[in-house]
Amino acid sequence: MRVIAGTAKGRALKAVPGTNTRPTTDKVKEAIFSMIGPYFDGGLVLDLFAGTGGLGIEALSRGADRAVFVDLEGASIDVIKHNVQAAGLGASSEIYRNEALRAVKALEKRGKAFRIVFLDPPYRMKEMDSLMQELAQRNLLEANAMIVIEHDAAHRYPEAFSFYEQMKHTQYGDTAVTIYRYRPEEVGSPEQLEE
């Protein structure tokens, strides 16, 4: 694994030991960033279920201002710390060991809004749409923020729900990538958020 483009291009990234973490392949990462970027003019990034931190690091390398990395596993946290330093991006990174929903609740108190959110949970977790509802309810997203879900290709997320509109859905073998745009003014209504 490596950083594909930007200021840290070519830097090698360490994988998390063992088989519990499934890092995003370089091919899928390249596809994700060609769909959402490929370069950014600042903004905050949230890498939830960060694993190796590869997606958040790639976003920082391509011009995001700051990234918050969250993972529940201690081994992943150690690897993320190593990888942000190896990429020379430690100063623009925050790393927290926490469960995703608890992290979202904690981030609400900070009053910050994210421009890009990466959700790459273990494939058995199929409720990223409800986690996205939490992000919206807690005002953690900029208008037009992009949410990238990496998931099992056998699972399909809805084309639109509450304030989210699906922009892209692509498959790479048993991996699928679904990208949403957050449109608080255009899609859905506040009542739908409470369902």
Neighbours of 192 (CB within 10 A): 12
Which domains occur in the chain, in start order?
Answer: 27-193 (3.40.50.150)
Output the pLDDT for position 27.
Answer: 87
Mean pLDDT, residues 72-91:
97
Output the pLDDT for position 19.
Answer: 65
pTM listed for this prediction = 0.92
By mean pLDDT, which of 18-32, 130-144, 177-191 is the weakest?
177-191
Decide if pLDDT at 192 tops 80.
Answer: no
Output the pLDDT for position 6.
Answer: 95
Identity at 87, one-letter amino acid code: A
Report the alpha-carbon distance of residue 60 to residue 54 in Å, rounded.
10
Report the alpha-carbon distance of residue 189 to residue 88 in Å, rounded.
42
Task: Take residue 191 and report the two structure tokens written for it.
Answer: 């009542």
Decide if pLDDT at 116 tops 50.
Answer: yes
Tens digits of per-residue pLDDT, 43-73? 999 999 999 999 999 999 999 999 999 999 9
